[in-house]
Homo-oligomer: A and B are copies of this chain.
């Protein structure tokens, strides 16, 4: 089918390719002339036959909001907008309302798979009406991995449910990564273990902990044993924070995912103000030596 695609970055660019390989007619728009198919959003709208389906794949936050606001101007009654970015689910309702004023409908789509999605397919979690989801299904079926639809695609609920499911997916991802990371650190610290990479590689088949992340960890260690070239400084892109905030809102205990999030915060600190306070306290009551800043390695 025909699809407008706004945003041709790392994700959108690959998705255009996968969709075209799947036989769809994709008109892509991006402000960068070297990748775009049309010069403006208006030209995108014009290039598509009504009723249109337009997929938005831009960074979450203000850029997504501005893009959807602009699309509301360019599109018409009966069109459908899909937000495939990592928007917070709380933004989906307002976006649906904004578009709804012009008779445009809305789907939020959580997309997982990163750079591997082009070849392996993207895991999709979508929210919206049955009719809208049905309408976009040819697109979803091409983007998702081959195999049974229910193993790589879910219509998770009404508007917001797709991004909610993706948010939880990413929160879990934080916890999984940290569990492997802690185990890796312990293996690497133990002299009995002669080859940490080989141990993690050997978990690829038959074990309880086998997973895609486990295989990526084995691969990463093969490329850079002991991670000598990598700093522990780790960004977080929002979903982890939102997941813990949702847990608080729902009164759900979430020690593991929260600890994983806090470890990322800590990884980005030059030094920990909290630990300075602890060190200062020990000095106060015990006369324990503190490490002066000038001694720091």
Render A239-283 as a binary contact track against B, CB cut-off 8 A, 1 for contact: 001011111101111111111111111111111111111111111
Set B174, B183, B265, B280: member contacting A230, Cβ < 8 A: B280
B211 touches A212 (CB 8 A): yes
Provide a sorted-by-A list of 29 A–B residue pairs whose CB atoms are within 8 angstroms: A10-B287, A115-B287, A120-B205, A152-B204, A154-B195, A156-B198, A156-B199, A157-B192, A157-B193, A161-B194, A168-B183, A168-B199, A169-B208, A169-B209, A170-B208, A172-B179, A176-B211, A177-B277, A180-B281, A181-B278, A183-B243, A209-B211, A217-B281, A229-B292, A229-B293, A230-B290, A230-B292, A233-B275, A233-B279
Contacts of A282 in B (CB 8 A): 177, 234-235
Contacts of A269 in B (CB 8 A): 253
* A137 interface contact, C-beta 8 A: no
- Could you list 10 further interchain pairs (A-B, Cβ under 8 angstroms) beyond the known A112-B206, A171-B183, A183-B257? A113-B207, A158-B194, A169-B208, A172-B183, A177-B282, A179-B260, A220-B280, A229-B293, A230-B291, A251-B265
B262 touches A169 (CB 8 A): no
Which interface class (under 10, 10 to 19, 20 to 34, 35 or more) fits A?
35 or more
- Among the listed stretches A50-58, A61-69, A142-150, which one makes contact with chain B, having 4 or more residues with CB under 8 Å of it? A142-150
Chain A's interface: helix, strand, loop or mixed, by majority? helix
Contacts of A277 in B (CB 8 A): 177, 180-181, 184-185, 217, 220, 227
Complex Cα distance A266/B201, Å?
Answer: 27
Cβ-closest chain B residue relative to A112: B207
* A34 interface contact, C-beta 8 A: no
Contacts of A202 in B (CB 8 A): 123-125, 150-154, 165
Contacts of A272 in B (CB 8 A): 185, 232, 253, 263, 266-267
Interchain nearest-CB distance for A166 vs B (Å): 9
Complex Cα distance A257/B175, Å?
Answer: 10
A179 touches B181 (CB 8 A): no
Interchain nearest-CB distance for A233 vs B (Å): 4
Interchain nearest-CB distance for A262 vs B (Å): 4
The answer to whether A228 and B193 touch (CB under 8 A), given A175-B256, A245-B248, is: no
